[in-house]
């Protein structure tokens, strides 16, 4: 059963099974609506059996039992019910309930919990095991429509595109940068006790430079509660609100620039930044734990420089070149992709910030000594992202040993190696390699995630529908529901990363990382090898993402139980 079918089935079930409340008398806008009288025998509801008979207008109501549940229906002719005002948030009037039975109505607390239990049974009954087990980490996902038949030229980065690295590289970067902090910046040797924590940080996080806080921010510049860390310990949400003036919002001017490098907040976008985030957290934790006074701004600059030294001094390049089998993953897949593209007449180029000697060693390992024959243009030490915007630095050619030549470059020739910049030209279609997709899709495909997320959405929809119950008993029930909702959010987050959750979502919004991914990438995938699953005339179509006013027509919302729109069952077939 697909999720689409599940959504429609859950909606129908909610209409036919979930609405067991005594009917509400509504104030019709059209005069002289005929009414229908419904009578039923004893039926189970909540904690006991009730006998009920009610009258209702022709228009379906979200709180009226479905006719399929009732054994008898009779029309009362031309009897009319007088108009009465309807109470709603922000609307004048009082909502009244009318009963034609002498049986006393169910108390509010029992009524709310009956609705809760009905909905929970529906979620468990309607969602079959493996309902979300449809995702494949080898899929290419589209943010924009892309027809590969129209793509004649393919350009590649080297690091984490043509060459994927093992996690062992992050450990080496962390350990070496930690050593620089002690040897070069004279930090206390006690920091050596902090080993690298592989699953602590996640890509796309923000760092408040002045406050020394690592956090996760959504696409609207709001901090996700529960994801703010000072050192290796979470900061209570109440303290976060105090630190940011009573709000979770981070002003745009603090987080600006192409890579989120504002004056106070920096976003860590690339995979190489994960060791840096972990070292920042460890160093902060050391000073805090040992009650040593320090300036978070100085710490940030020192850690950034220490990480930079690992790259500038060539340590990372040396490690990889000395043990290619240990650090480079899936090289045979890169070879297969390049062979396929060239065999079908596509032109290729390579642009990387890495030096030629490093690229040459890795490409020879993955593809062979003649790897340069695949590429029409190879550009190294490009200094991206300035490469795409700075037109001042001219190209320079490198010889076979990687040494710079001095002649002026009039054109780019196949088989040659070039250094420096090129102006950005419009019209390029872009694709992002996101290795984290492999693990994230595994989580999304689990039954536990599917059930937690569906119940979270359903509970949220139930709270939205029933929030007009504001008596003391109802408020107490809502507090219990809200606590459960928060627990579900934490459980869902922890399935990805206990500290920061998914790199793509906060509680319900896309992350800032997702926003940038959608803005700058037409396609995204786990690895370059995903291209092998598609022919080169394939067209990628993005899914139409519903806006909020479109939400009731979509499967994702049909599963929530929100049902904000009348006649939703009749509309559920519209896609």
Has residue 64 got a pLDDT over 60? no
pLDDT band at 239 (very low <50, low <70, confident <90, very high): very high
Compute the average pLDDT of residues 186-193: 96
Active-site residue flag, 159: yes
Report percent pLDDT > 70 for the chain: 66
Q: pLDDT: is 564 or 189 the higher one?
A: 189
For all residues of the chain together, what is the average pLDDT?
Answer: 77
Strand duo 347-351 + 153-156: pairing: parallel
Instruction: State which H helix or E strand residue 360 sits in.
Output: helix 356-366
Q: Which of residues 48 and 201 earns the better pLDDT score?
A: 201
Question: For residue 123, is pLDDT > 90?
Answer: no
pLDDT at 413: 57
* Alpha carbon distance 123, 148 (integer Å): 40
Tally of CB atoms within 10 A around 370: 9
More confident residue, 62 or 307: 307
Please answer whether residues 494 and 501 qualify as being in contact, where contact means their C-beta atoms are separated by less than 8 angstroms. yes
Question: In the chain, what are the helix, strand and coil shares in percent, each to the nearest 5?
Answer: 40, 15, 45
Which ranges of 149-295 would DSSP assign to H, the alpha helix? Answer: 168-183, 237-243, 274-289
Q: Three-state DSSP class for 308?
A: helix
Return the biggest CA–CA distance within the chain: 100
Q: What is the pLDDT of residues 497-523, one digit of tens each?
A: 999 999 999 988 999 999 999 988 999
Mean pLDDT for 376-389 is 68
Please say if the pLDDT value at position 104 is more than 80. no
**Residue 234's closest CA among 170, 288, 304, 167?**
288
Q: What is the pLDDT of residue 135?
A: 77
Please report which confidence band the pLDDT of residue 544 belongs to, taking 50, 70 and 90 as the band edges: confident
Written as six digits, the tokens of 86 are 């309807």
Helix segments in 40-107, DSSP class H: none
Whether 554 has a pLDDT exceeding 90, the answer reads no
Residue 353 above 60 pLDDT?
Answer: yes
Task: Label residue 235 by pLDDT band (50, 70, 90).
Answer: very high
pLDDT in the model for residue 447: 85
Question: Environment class of residue 245 by beta-carbon count within 10 Å: exposed (0-12), middle (13-18) or buried (19+)?
Answer: exposed
**Long-range Cβ pairs for the range 453-456 (8 Å, 24+):** 453/492, 454/123, 454/127, 454/559, 455/120, 455/123, 455/488, 456/485, 456/488, 456/489, 456/492
Catalytic residue, candidates 157, 237, 447, 522:
157
Beta strands (DSSP E) in 212-356 are 213-215, 229-230, 233-234, 265-267, 328-329, 347-351
Q: Which contacts qualify for 277-280: CB closer than 8 Å, 24 or more apart?
A: 277/200, 277/201, 277/205, 277/207, 277/214, 278/174, 278/196, 278/197, 278/200, 278/201, 279/174, 279/177, 279/178, 279/181, 279/303, 279/306, 279/307, 280/207, 280/212, 280/214
Segment 317-333 shows an average pLDDT of 95
Q: Is the pLDDT of residue 375 over 50?
A: yes
Least trusted range by pLDDT, from 106-120, 132-146, 540-554: 540-554
**pLDDT value at position 291?**
96
- Return the minimum-mean-pLDDT range out of 224-228, 279-283, 445-449, 568-572: 568-572
Catalytic residue among 58, 63, 78, 159: 159
pLDDT given at position 503? 96
Of 4-13, 63-72, 119-128, 204-213, the one with minimum mean pLDDT is 63-72
Average of per-residue pLDDT across 190-213:
95
Which residues have a Cβ under 8 Å from the Cβ of 198 and sit 6 or more positions away? 167, 170, 171
Per-residue pLDDT, 348: 93
Each residue of 408-442: pLDDT tens digit?
544 555 655 554 464 344 568 899 999 999 999 99
pLDDT > 90? residue 303: yes
CA dihedral sign, ordered 357, 363, 369, 372: negative
Phi, psi of 76, deg, nearest 5: -100, 25
More confident of the two residues 312 and 232? 232
For residue 2, name the pLDDT band (cuts at 50, 70, 90).
Answer: very low
As a whole number, mean pLDDT of residues 319-324 equals 96
Specify the DSSP element, H or E, that contains 99.
none
**pLDDT at 571 exceeding the cut of 80:** no
Q: Kindly indicate the confidence band of residue 299, based on its pLDDT and cuts at 50, 70 and 90.
A: very high
Residue with tokens 């929970």: 120
pTM: 0.73
- What pLDDT score was predicted for residue 395? 53
């Amino acid at each position: 059963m697909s999720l689409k079918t599940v959504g429609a089935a859950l909606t129908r079930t909610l209409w036919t099974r979930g609405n067991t409340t005594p009917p509400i008398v509504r104030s019709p806008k059209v005069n002289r609506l005929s009414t229908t009288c419904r009578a039923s025998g004893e039926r189970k509801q909540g904690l006991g059996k009730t006998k009920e008979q009610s009258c209702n207008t022709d228009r379906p109501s979200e709180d009226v039992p479905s006719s399929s549940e009732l054994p008898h229906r009779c029309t009362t002719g031309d009897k009319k019910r007088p108009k009465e005002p309807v109470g709603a948030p922000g609307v004048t009037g009082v909502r009244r309930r009318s009963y034609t039975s002498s049986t006393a109505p169910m108390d509010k607390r029992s009524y709310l919990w009956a609705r809760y239990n009905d909905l929970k049974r529906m979620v468990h009954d309607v969602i079959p095991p493996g309902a979300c087990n449809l995702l494949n980490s080898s899929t290419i996902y589209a943010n924009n429509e892309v027809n590969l038949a129209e793509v004649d030229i393919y350009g590649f980065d080297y690091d984490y595109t043509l060459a994927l690295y093992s996690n062992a590289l992050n450990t080496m970067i962390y350990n070496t940068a930690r050593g620089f902090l002690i040897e070069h910046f004279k930090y206390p040797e006690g920091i050596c006790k902090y080993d690298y924590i592989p699953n602590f940080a996640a890509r796309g996080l923000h760092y408040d430079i002045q406050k020394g806080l690592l956090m996760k921010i959504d696409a609207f510049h709001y901090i996700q509660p529960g994801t703010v860390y000072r050192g290796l310990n979470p900061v209570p949400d109440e303290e976060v609100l105090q630190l940011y003036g009573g709000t979770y919002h981070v002003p745009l001017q603090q987080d600006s620039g192409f890579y989120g490098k504002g004056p106070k907040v920096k976003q860590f976008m690339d995979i190489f930044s994960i060791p840096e985030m972990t070292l920042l957290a460890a160093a902060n934790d050391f000073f805090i734990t040992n009650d040593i006074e320090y300036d978070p701004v100085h710490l940030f600059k020192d850690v950034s420089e220490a990480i930079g030294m690992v790259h500038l001094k060539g340590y990372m390049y040396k490690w990889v070149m000395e043990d290619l089998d240990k650090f480079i993953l899936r090289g045979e897949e890169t070879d297969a992709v390049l062979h396929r593209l060239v065999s079908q007449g596509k032109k290729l180029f390579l642009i990387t910030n890495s030096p030629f000697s490093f690229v040459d060693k890795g490409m020879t390992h993955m593809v062979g000594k003649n790897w340069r024959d695949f590429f029409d243009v190879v550009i190294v030490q490009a200094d991206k992202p300035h490469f795409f915007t700075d037109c001042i630095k001219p190209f320079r050619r490198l010889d076979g040993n990687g040494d710079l030549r001095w002649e002026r470059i009039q054109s780019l020739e196949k088989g040659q190696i070039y250094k420096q910049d090129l102006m950005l030209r419009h019209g390029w279609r872009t694709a992002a390699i996101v290795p984290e997709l492999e693990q994230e899709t595994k989580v999304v495909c689990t039954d536990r995630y599917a059930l937690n997320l569906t119940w979270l959405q359903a509970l949220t929809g139930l709270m939205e529908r029933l929030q007009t119950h504001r008596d003391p008993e109802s408020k107490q029930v809502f507090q219990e529901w809200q606590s459960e909702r928060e627990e579900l959010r934490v459980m869902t987050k922890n399935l990805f990363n206990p500290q920061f959750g998914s790199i793509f979502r906060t509680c319900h919004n896309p992350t800032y990382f997702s926003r940038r991914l959608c803005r700058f990438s037409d396609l995204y995938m786990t690895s370059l090898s995903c291209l092998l699953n598609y022919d080169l005339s394939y067209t990628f179509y993005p899914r139409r993402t519903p806006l909020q006013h479109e939400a009731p027509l979509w499967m994702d919302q049909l599963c929530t139980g929100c049902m904000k729109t009348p006649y939703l069952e009749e509309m559920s077939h519209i896609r």
